[in-house]
């Protein structure tokens, strides 16, 4: 096991990149702590799979170095890196039995038969496939095949890291819960470094201790789920995390007040310096509440999501979503208030830190 360091790493699929736009992965420095559970979150084409393939050695970066511990592995092939990877679609060896599938990485590394048997039994118990060990992998359901893929990823104890490339894409919602908790449990027991690539915020936030949010080939924020939710560093993070994402309203910010285009005043939880560029305030739908006093709300649509309701409306001519609890009636002329401590201020899409001593 080792900590993974990325130094001035960048990658372009174009052999002669001319501008920054030619880079699928823009220059970055990052250290993945040994034993951490990380998620790489972003929409398709943001560079997250490129980054994962560089770490696993399936792709050699055009710039920068990759270090496992103190060892430079930038040019080392995949097999020499001692990592495991689970792919988006199940990869099983059809002609082998489930047991042979799970044993394959160990057998290739010349482990002795007794150890392999014990280890495979242990893994099979964890992924709930003990009853199927003697069966051929061919013809199993996608769920079962993906469990085998996960099991093969877990079977080696000495790996530097386990990489997951959207592993739950083909899995039913109910099974996702089961597999996700199993993964967390496995992480707790074995303490492997795990990097989990996904576009699904729920998977990313629930799995990881630290989430790395990527946008357009760049890392825009690295933080705990709570940080990403409460203090998104970039408007993209605000939009991408949360369902629906953060509401953004154009505003002029002066001290601890924001003035909306219509002249409405919103109190902020802190004082801000003078700002230039496009200034917006961001507030989560969860932090907007119906109130006796506040901004008048025009209701467009209410969606019953079961455990709560989503109200899609407009405030001061701008779209605004809010989350309402299950049940309860809406007043005839609803007004809304923002929780001041939960308002973030953005200038040209980047979050502005409030001034000290509020």
Partner 1 sequence: MEKTWNNKAWFLVLPVLVIVAFSAVIPLMTVVNYAFNDTFGNNEFFWAGLEWFDEMVHSSRLHEALGRQALFSAIILAIEVPLGIFVALNMPKKGFWSSLVLVLMALPLLIPFNVVGTIWQIFGRVDIGLLGHTLEALGLDYNYTNDPIDAWVTVIVMDVWHWTSLVALLCYAGLQSIPQAYYQAARIDQASRWAVFRYIELPKMKGVLLIAVLLRFMDSFMIYTEPFVVTGGGPGNSTTFLSIDLVKMAVGQFDLGPAAAFSLMYFLVILLVSWVFYTVMTSMDRNPSDIPEGL
Partner 2 sequence: MALELQGVSRLVGGRVHIHPTSLTLREGTMNVLLGPTLSGKTSLMRLMAGLDQPTAGRILWQGQDVTGQRVQDRGVAMVYQQFINYPGLSVYENIASPLRILGRPRDEIDRKVRETAEMLRLTPMLARKPLELSGGQQQRCALARALVKGAGLVLLDEPLANLDYKLREELRVEIPRIFEASGAIFVYATTEPEEALLLGGHTATLWQGRMTQFGPTPQVYRAPVDAATARVFSDPPMNFVPATRRGDRLLLGQVAVPSVPGLPDGDYLAGFRANHLSLSRHSPAAVEFPCTLVATEITGSETFIHVDHGAERWVGLVEGVHVLTPGQPLSVWLDPAHVYLFDADGRLAAPASYAKAA
| 239 lines the binding site for partner 1 (CB under 8 A) | no
User: Least CB distance from residue 106 to partner 2, whole Å?
Assistant: 27
Single residue of 7, 26, 30, 135 touching partner 1 by CB under 8 A: 135
Single residue of 14, 60, 71, 89 touching partner 1 by CB under 8 A: 89
Indicate the residue among 83 and 249 with the shorter CB distance to partner 1.
83
User: Least CB distance from residue 34 to partner 1, whole Å?
Assistant: 20
User: Least CB distance from residue 12 to partner 2, whole Å?
Assistant: 21
Q: CA dist 119 to 157, 167, 233, Å? A: 9, 22, 43
User: Least CB distance from residue 24 to partner 1, whole Å?
Assistant: 17
User: Least CB distance from residue 138 to partner 1, whole Å?
Assistant: 6
User: Which parts of 325-354 interact with partner 2 (CB under 8 A)?
Assistant: 326-327
What are the tokens at 333?
């002329």
Binding site partner of 189, from partner 2, partner 1, none, Cβ cut-off 5-8 A by kind? none
Binding site partner of 44, from partner 2, partner 1, none, Cβ cut-off 5-8 A by kind? partner 2
Single residue of 47, 61, 151, 242 touching partner 2 by CB under 8 A: 242
| 87 lines the binding site for partner 1 (CB under 8 A) | yes
Binding piece for partner 2, criterion CB under 8 A, among 29-37, 51-59, 156-164, 222-230: 222-230
Maximum C-alpha span of the chain: 76
Binding site partner of 234, from partner 1, partner 2, none, Cβ cut-off 5-8 A by kind? none
Binding letters toward partner 2, positions 260-299, x by CB under 8 A: ------------------------x-x-------------
| 138 lines the binding site for partner 1 (CB under 8 A) | yes
User: Least CB distance from residue 158 to partner 1, whole Å?
Assistant: 12
Single residue of 40, 84, 116, 316 touching partner 1 by CB under 8 A: 84
- How far apart, in whole angstroms, are the C-alpha atoms of residue 266 and residue 294? 9
User: Least CB distance from residue 50 to partner 1, whole Å?
Assistant: 14
């Amino acid at each position: 096991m080792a900590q993974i360091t990325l130094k001035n790493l960048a990658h372009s699929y174009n052999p002669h990149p001319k501008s920054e736009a030619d880079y699928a992965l823009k220059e970055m420095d990052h250290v993945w702590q040994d034993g951490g559970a990380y998620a790489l979150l972003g929409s398709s084409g943001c560079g997250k799979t490129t980054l994962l393939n560089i770490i696993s050695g399936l792709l050699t970066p055009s710039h920068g170095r990759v270090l496992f511990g103190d060892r430079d592995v930038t040019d080392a092939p995949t097999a020499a890196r001692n990592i495991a990877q689970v792919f988006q679609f199940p990869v099983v060896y059809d002609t082998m039995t489930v047991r042979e599938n799970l044993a394959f990485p160990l057998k290739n590394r010349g482990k002795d038969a007794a150890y392999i048997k014990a280890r495979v039994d242990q893994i099979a118990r964890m992924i709930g496939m003990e009853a199927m060990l003697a069966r051929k992998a061919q013809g199993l359901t996608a769920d079962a095949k993906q469990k085998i893929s996960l099991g093969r990823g877990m079977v080696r104890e000495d790996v530097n890291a386990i990489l997951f490339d959207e592993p739950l894409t083909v899995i039913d919602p109910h099974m996702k819960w089961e597999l996700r908790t199993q993964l967390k449990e496995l992480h707790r027991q074995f303490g492997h470094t795990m990097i989990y690539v996904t576009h699904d915020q729920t998977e990313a936030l629930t799995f990881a201790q630290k989430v790395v949010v990527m946008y357009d080939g760049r890392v825009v924020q690295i933080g705990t789920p709570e940080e990403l939710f409460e203090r998104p560093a970039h408007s993209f993070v605000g939009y991408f995390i949360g369902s629906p994402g953060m509401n953004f309203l154009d505003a002029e910010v002066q001290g601890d007040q924001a003035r909306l285009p219509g002249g409405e005043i919103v109190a902020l939880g802190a004082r801000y310096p003078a700002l230039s560029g496009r200034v917006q305030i961001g507030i989560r739908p969860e932090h907007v509440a119906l109130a006796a006093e506040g901004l008048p709300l025009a209701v467009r649509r209410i969606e019953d999501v079961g455990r709560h309701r989503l109200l899609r409306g407009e405030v001061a001519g701008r779209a605004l979503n809010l989350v309402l609890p299950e049940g309860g009636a809406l007043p005839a002329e609803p007004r809304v208030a923002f929780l001041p401590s939960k308002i973030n201020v953005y200038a040209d899409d980047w979050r502005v830190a409030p001034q000290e001593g509020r």
